[in-house]
Structure 1
Amino acid sequence: MNPEILENFINTDEELSPHKGYLNSITKPSVDISFSNDEVKDYESRFGGNPLVSKDFVWPAHEEGEYRFLGQINFSEIRQPTALLPESGLLSLFYAYDEDGEIFWGDDGYVVGYFYPDINDLIIYEQTSANPKTKKIVFSNGIEIPRHEDLRKDWPFDPEALYDLPELEGYCEDYMLGYPSFYTLAYDPTPSDEWMSLLTLTSYDEFEWCWHDGDKLMIFIEKEKLKNLDFRNLKTDAG
């Protein structure tokens, strides 16, 4: 979320402005994701299309079928708002898919990640069943406050005041870090205090993404695993 727009929203809201100190204390850095119409180069961050992977890469499969390519993040494109993310390297993400809908987005291994510290030896994997739609994504530094009352239990004001957040010009549906965001859940989807939000994505028809009937997909990673650049054990929820 754009920091200046969020600050102005807090300063001008009668319910929130007296609690600016509290809101500043719970703010977390985020990386907002937006789309670019520029042609996507092989090594650039994107959603959809074909992934950049190692030469010995084997396309992942699950008991009901294959995974689909979600997208890739080239960390060198991010102006780091925090030391949490790698300064370089590429992360390719895949999600479990089956036409009958038997795979559940809360299952272990619903999203799998492959991290490559050095992108120079990677190649494009031409997967014929992949969604050909692709979009270049770009990043900007943002900040996040909890968007839902269920994410905290110490609100010093009526959290209904947060319901106007989606109307802000700087409100971003897709982002890294921060707090998870959702439409229909009534609980904090973060697995535990040892975990943190890695990526929050909304549904998009053009990529054939439909998380929980058109809601959001939230991907979580263990804090220690992120420090060690280990993206192999991710958890997810949707709603």
Structure 2
Amino acid sequence: MKPDDLNAFLSIDDGFDEYLEYIEKITLPCVDIKLLSGLEKSTGQESRFGGTPFLPNNFIWPTHDKGEYLFLGQINFDEIQNGPADLPKTGMLSLFYAYDENGEIFWQSEDYIKGYYWENTKDFIDYTKKNTSALSKKISFTNGVDVPRYEELRSDWPFDPELLFELSYGGVFSDDYILGYPSHCTLGYDPTPEGGQWMSLITLMSNSELDWCWHDGDKLMVFIEKDKLLNKDFSCLKSDAG
């Protein structure tokens, strides 16, 4: 959400008034994602979820021991104008997720999410593949800010963490966004991986139109190590859902 909107929301509740300075210090930049109408005609380059990915013509579709990955979506960083400093300024990120009909693959499994980044997409093509969803949704981006909405994400709360309930379910934050803090529906722990400098890369809500169902209709949270993000290296991602 926008910084002014965050301040306005926090000021409504007297419980937050004296802690606005603290909350401002722990605020992180994020990019809110808005799902638009179905994408009927593609130029290939646009950011989108589902549908046919835009990939090198020699791309080898990723597989796992239970089958093939499914295409999650692609982010064209050129479309994020004046975005957070940690993100690439240009290039394309394609994301895939492991899936099997028997549900044997767990969202915490190694390489559940695979990411591929290319600086230049000049010679890319629409990569037709049998395991891509028929529906594709174009997405748009808005730069914003995010704050932790769960007691487990910090150990230095200066106020009663029960107040965070209003942040979690106040309807003022996007369910789909890049960077920021991880958010979930049902977990009782910090999903950020231990060891290294892991940070939230993208958080996505389950979506029946796109056939996404993370943890019985909750959220998928994908993480990356900060140094790898700064080096535009998306080859090692971790994930959780809940």
TM-score, length-normalised on structure 2?
0.95
Q: What CA RMSD, in Å, does the superposition of the two structures yield over aligned residues?
A: 1.3
- AA aligned to 1:100 is N
Residue 89 (structure 1) aligns with: 91
1:224 to 200, 224, 227: 227
Q: Structure 2 matches for 1:145-224, cutoff 5 A?
A: 145-166=147-168, 168=170, 170-192=172-194, 194-224=197-227
- AA aligned to 2:76 is N
Aligned-pair identity in percent equals: 52
Mapped to 1, the partners of 2:27 and 2:172 lie a distance apart of: 16
Q: Deviations over 1:94-127 (max 9, x none)?
A: 0000000000000110000110100111111101
The CA deviation at 1:9 is 1.3
- AA aligned to 1:230 is D
- AA aligned to 2:159 is F
Mapped to 1, the partners of 2:202 and 2:221 lie a distance apart of: 6
Mapped to 1, the partners of 2:5 and 2:171 lie a distance apart of: 7
Q: Structure 2 matches for 1:1-239, cutoff 5 A?
A: 1-37=1-37, 39=39, 40-166=42-168, 168=170, 170-192=172-194, 194-239=197-242
For the Cα contact (< 8 Å) 1:203–1:216, is it kept in 2?
Answer: yes
Unpaired runs of at least 5, structure 1 = none
Residue correspondences, number? 239
The CA deviation at 1:38 is 6.9
For the Cα contact (< 8 Å) 2:94–2:117, is it kept in 1?
Answer: yes
Structure 1 segments (4+ residues) deviating >4 Å: 166-169
The CA deviation at 1:37 is 2.3
Mapped to 1, the partners of 2:162 and 2:25 lie a distance apart of: 19
Mapped to 2, the partners of 1:169 and 1:220 lie a distance apart of: 24
The CA deviation at 1:5 is 1.8
TM-score, length-normalised on structure 1?
0.96
The CA deviation at 1:42 is 1.1
- AA aligned to 2:46 is E
For the Cα contact (< 8 Å) 1:29–1:142, is it kept in 2?
Answer: yes
Mapped to 2, the partners of 1:41 and 1:152 lie a distance apart of: 43
Unpaired runs of at least 5, structure 2 = none
Mapped to 2, the partners of 1:166 and 1:34 lie a distance apart of: 18
Mapped to 2, the partners of 1:238 and 1:208 lie a distance apart of: 15
The CA deviation at 1:6 is 1.2
Mapped to 1, the partners of 2:37 and 2:240 lie a distance apart of: 29
